[in-house]
């Protein structure tokens, strides 16, 4: 076996290993037990997609449905479903947009800001617990690589 073929086979093996690791990570992200524990801890039912919508509103303030969908990496229909659930939970408020009666502006309610803060704290606590034995440099490298991967997957 030549050096090039060894290199290619190692690269292919690493690609397979990485794909399997990411599949496992994504599966954990969709774990209903985690969502159930989060619901019990924060006192509100918020899905992963709902959390993305809350985060977008917390980060950007008032958004249109289209802007919320973009910021949350959802299509408009999915964002609309999430907003409806969040409005029903009293976490998000819809108001008529200035200048266009058909458009609505979305903002967090006071309760929505409180729930978002509790969810963010819960998730951060869980993550810091999992990464407790990691060095600061390892965490920084992980953050950089995950951000790079996320950007590449989104692009």
Give the pLDDT mean for 67-89.
Answer: 94
Q: Cα-Cα-Cα-Cα dihedral of 112, 57, 50, 34, to 10°?
A: -80
Question: Which residues, at least 6 apart from 45, have a Cβ–Cβ distance to it below 8 Å?
Answer: 39, 89
- Phi-psi sector, 93: left (phi>0), alpha (psi -120 to 50), beta: beta
Task: Report if residue 53 sits inside a domain.
Answer: yes
Expressed as residue numbers, the domain containing 145 is 45-154
| pLDDT-based confidence at residue 30 (cuts at 50, 70, 90) | confident
CATH number of the domain that 131 lies in? 1.10.10.10
Place of tokens 């977008």: 56
pLDDT digits (tens, 9 = 90+) for 44-62: 889 889 999 999 999 999 9
How many domains does the chain contain in total?
1
The two structure tokens encoding residue 8:
């290619």
pLDDT digits (tens, 9 = 90+) for 105-128: 999 999 999 999 999 999 999 899
Task: Report if residue 2 sits inside a domain.
Answer: no
């Amino acid at each position: 076996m030549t050096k090039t073929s060894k290199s290619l086979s190692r690269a292919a093996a690493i690609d397979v290993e990485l794909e399997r690791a990411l599949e496992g990570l994504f599966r954990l992200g969709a774990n209903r037990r985690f969502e159930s524990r989060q619901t019990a801890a924060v006192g509100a039912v918020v899905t992963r997609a709902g959390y993305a919508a809350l985060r977008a509103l917390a980060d950007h303030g008032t958004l249109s449905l289209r802007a919320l969908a973009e910021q949350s990496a959802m299509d408009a229909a999915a964002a609309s479903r999430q907003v409806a659930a969040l409005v029903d939970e009293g976490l998000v408020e819809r108001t008529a947009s200035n200048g266009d009666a058909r458009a609505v502006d979305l903002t967090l309610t006071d309760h929505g800001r409180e729930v978002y803060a509790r969810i963010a704290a819960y998730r951060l606590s869980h993550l810091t617990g999992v990464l407790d034995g990691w060095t600061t440099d390892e965490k920084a490298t992980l953050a950089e690589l995950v951000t790079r991967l996320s950007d590449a997957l989104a692009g």
